[in-house]
Amino acid sequence: MTALFFPHQALADTLLACLPDAFDGAHDLAHLERVWRNVQCIAAEEGGDRALLLAATVLHDGVHVAKNDPRRAQASQLAADQAREILSTTGWESPRIEAVAHAIEAHSFSAGITPQTLEARILQDADRLDSLGALGVARCFYTAGQMGGALYDPFDPQADGRALDDQRFTLDHFQTKLLTLKEGFQTATGRRLAAQRHARLLAFRDALLEEIGETPAR
């Protein structure tokens, strides 16, 4: 079997076994593996404690809170508290547990917490990369489908004469969040990768608008 979290597969297996089963196709095992791949790519140039980063990666979405749940902004705090409990049973020392918890707390867009450590900056960048590019498009529409959202407003696709409402219209989410993400990356490597994926996201948005008879606004 492929080691998804090489070279820390044993640690990953231990931590994954402690997580509850809660399926969400946008925050599943494949998402964790992609974030870990992004983490490794960034850390290869920026540095960072790899074992600590692995723990933060595997546990960062340990508590699932739906996007339209009023507790959404608390999701990363809940996951951090869960990580503290899990890591305390595996022999980790308190300072390292708190470093993992901080990285988890700070990774969330909704929480609005500024990362204070290199590992927290790396995890935030690695997670946000998965909201950009082709994967960002796929996850965005998957989540909107789960929530019952429409693809776009047929009367005003670009919200020229109405307020943006990404709870109702998926295309609005590109403007309210996805196309703003590249400005907030924390590391030089993350910013470079984000620029590439932002361009793919923008190209998809523009192609969709053209196919529904709209001229993309810049």
Hey, which residues does 149 pair with through a beta bridge? none
pLDDT attached to residue 202: 96
Task: Return the structure tokens found at 158.
Answer: 């670009």
Is the whole-model pTM more than 0.75? yes
Where helices occur in 47-111 by DSSP H, the ranges are 50-59, 75-88, 94-107
Q: What is the mean pLDDT of each run of 10 residues along the chain (218 residues)?
A: 88 93 83 97 97 97 75 84 95 96 92 93 97 96 93 96 96 96 96 98 96 89
- Backbone phi, psi, residue 129, to 5°: -60, -30
Domains contained in the chain, CATH given = 1-129 (1.10.3210.50), 131-213 (1.10.3210.50)
- Distance (Å) of CA 170 to CA 28, 150, 161, 195: 21, 6, 17, 22
Instruction: Give the DSSP H or E segment for 10.
Output: helix 9-16
pLDDT attached to residue 218: 66
Residue 165 zone, left/alpha/beta (φ > 0; ψ -120 to 50; rest): beta
pLDDT attached to residue 164: 97
pLDDT attached to residue 139: 95
| Surface-to-core class of residue 182, CB atoms within 10 Å of its CB (0-12 exposed, 13-18 middle, 19+ buried) | buried
- Distance (Å) of CA 53 to CA 5, 57, 83, 145, 152: 11, 6, 13, 31, 37
